[in-house]
A and B are shown apart, each in its own frame.
Chain A
Amino acid sequence: MTTRAEPIGGPLDTPLTRMLAGLFGLAMLAIAWRLIAGLGATTALNDGYPLGLWIAFDVVTGTALACGGYAIALLVYILNKGRYHPLVRPAMLTSALGYSLAGVGVLLDVGRWWLIWKVPVYFWHWNFNSALLEIALCIMSYVVVLWIELSPALLETFVDSTILPLRRVARRLPPVIERASPFIIALGLLLPTMHQSSLGTLMLLAGSRLHPLWRTPLLPLLFLITCLSMGFAVVVFESAFSSVAFKRRPETQMLARLATAIVPLQLAVVVLRLADLWWRGSLEPLLAGDARSALALVEFALFLAPIAMLWPAAGRRDLGRLVGAAIVMMFAGALYRFDTYLVAFTPGEHWSYFPSMAEMTITVGLVASEVLAYIVIVKRFPILSGRSGSPMAEREKPAAES
Chain B
Amino acid sequence: MALSRRAALKGLAAAGMAVAGVRPAQAVTLPVRQTDALGLLYDATLCIGCKTCMVACNEANSLPADTSGSPAKLYHKPIDLSEKAKTVIKLYAQDGEQAFVKAQCLHCVDPACTSACMLGALKKREFGIVTYDPDLCVGCRYCEVACPFNVPKFEWSSAAPKIVKCELCRERLAAGKEPACTEVCPRHAVIFGKRTDLLDEAHRRLHDTPDRYVPKVYGETDAGGTQVLYLSHVPFEKVGFPALGDEPAPSLARSIQHGIYRGFIAPLALYAALGAVIYRNRRADDNPR
A interface residues (Cβ-Cβ under 8 A, vs B)? 35-41, 45-48, 50-51, 77-78, 80, 82, 109-113, 115-116, 118-119, 122, 125-134, 136, 181-183, 185-187, 189-190, 193-194, 197-198, 201-209, 217, 220, 345, 347-348, 350
Contacts and interface: CB of A to CB of B under 8 A. Distances in A.
B260 A197 contact: yes
Contacts of B146: 205-207
B153 interface: yes
Most buried by A among B83, B244, B278: B278
A130 B115 contact: yes
Contacts of B284: 80
Contact of A78 (B81, B137, B145, B278): B278
A208 B252 CA distance: 11
Interface of B: 79-83, 112, 114-120, 134-142, 144-146, 148, 150, 153-162, 242, 244, 249-250, 252-254, 256-258, 260-261, 267, 270-271, 274-275, 277-279, 281-282, 284-285
B282 A208 contact: no
B149 to A, nearest CB: 10
Most buried by B among A50, A119, A189: A50
Contacts of A186: 271, 274-275, 278
B119 A119 contact: yes
A51 B141 contact: yes
A207 B278 contact: no
A189 B272 CA distance: 11
B261 A207 contact: no
B119 A126 contact: yes
7 A-B pairs closest in CB distance? A111-B139, A40-B156, A50-B141, A112-B139, A38-B159, A186-B274, A186-B275
A206 B145 contact: yes
Contacts of B141: 50-51, 111
A118 B154 contact: no
Contacts of A202: 142, 253
Contacts of A136: 118
A51 B144 CA distance: 9
Contact of B161 (A48, A112, A125, A132): A112
A201 B253 contact: yes
Nearest to A203: B145
A38 B271 contact: no
